[in-house]
Structure 1
Amino acid sequence: MDDASGRTPPARERILQAADQLFYANGINSTGVDGVIEAAGVARMTFYKHFKGKDGLILAYLDGREVRWQALLDRCITQAGDDPRARLLAVFDALREWATSQTRYRGCSFVNAMAELADPDHPARTVVTSYKRSLRDRIFELAQATGVADPGLLTDQLLLVYEGAISNRTFGNVDDACDKARTTARQLIAMA
């Protein structure tokens, strides 16, 4: 598992890369620690040196996805320039880029984790809820900057479109779901 420079990444990084690929492609519950250890090419002791167990690895996996998503979202918002409406629409540009960058798109890794980790006390559920709240807060902030009369309502509408685009792209129900969601978002913003 070499990186782009041809060097072998440190063990922790290899474990996280393996978990990211396996958890997203196969599911968290279907992927055991042994599979991650094997895919990462590390010893069991090395795994436990970096992670206390699977729950710790799940949290690190979700955190890594959130960090990458936030970086992409920030970049898309910055590239949208100074127009507040373009910056709000950039959320959908980021979604399209994220969805099309996946080898095999399986939807939102956070929603998938919530569905798989049914125990209401699992620490990942709190983390996922926090990430989703953060996205809502960011969209609200962007909606407020547009000067619309009710940024809360617009935020709720855009979140419904956003999550719907993810589901419909995952199931293949709507061709070009992310592009159509962006068009819908543009119309909602114009009417707000």
Structure 2
Amino acid sequence: MLTSSAVLVILTAIVCGAVAAALTGWIRSIADSDSRWLRSGLPVGLAAAGGAGAAGLAGTVPELVAFAALAVACGLLVPIDLAVHRLPDVVVVPLYPVLLATLGVAAMVTGDWGALGRAAAAALALLALYFTLAFINPSGLGLGDVKLAGVLGLFLGWLGWYYVLVGTLAAFAINAVVALVLLASRRANRHTGIAFGPAMIAGAAVAAWLSVGD
């Protein structure tokens, strides 16, 4: 089993931040944007923070690899979505085999095959939920959000069904708060599109934080 320590947390944060820094030019290219969100240090900061969280959450080396990879990807996806309201397949889709493979190895190490089955079931459940919502309201959710939902379902499902529920509800609550703030500050109106990916990732982070120590 992996023993969490301050050194491991710091090292993982540094590695994740460094990987995000190395990919910053690439994400500007795939986003085809020079937005301030992509020119800032946001991708690096988010990836580093996620890496620290990954080290604190993981109980095995395969889990650490899975959570750290997700942290880097989310650190890249948040600023892309804020900049261009897209969650590129080239970042999201590879997370499926990466998480399934690493969590599969984690299940072999721990013998907890139920967690892997739960993760797969949660991914399918969130894919179905978000696809339905996107079908009903395509202006509110896109297929990128649907694909990301499946990835986050794998992660949250590995932690437990309670965290799938918490992470999903938190995403919608966070998005609602952001929308209200933007409306109140007159920086948006009822027809303004708001990137939902960041709220989904923030909701998953809240659920993961609550799971630490359980």
TM-score w.r.t. the length of structure 1 is: 0.34
TM-score w.r.t. the length of structure 2 is: 0.31
Higher-Rg member (1/2): 1
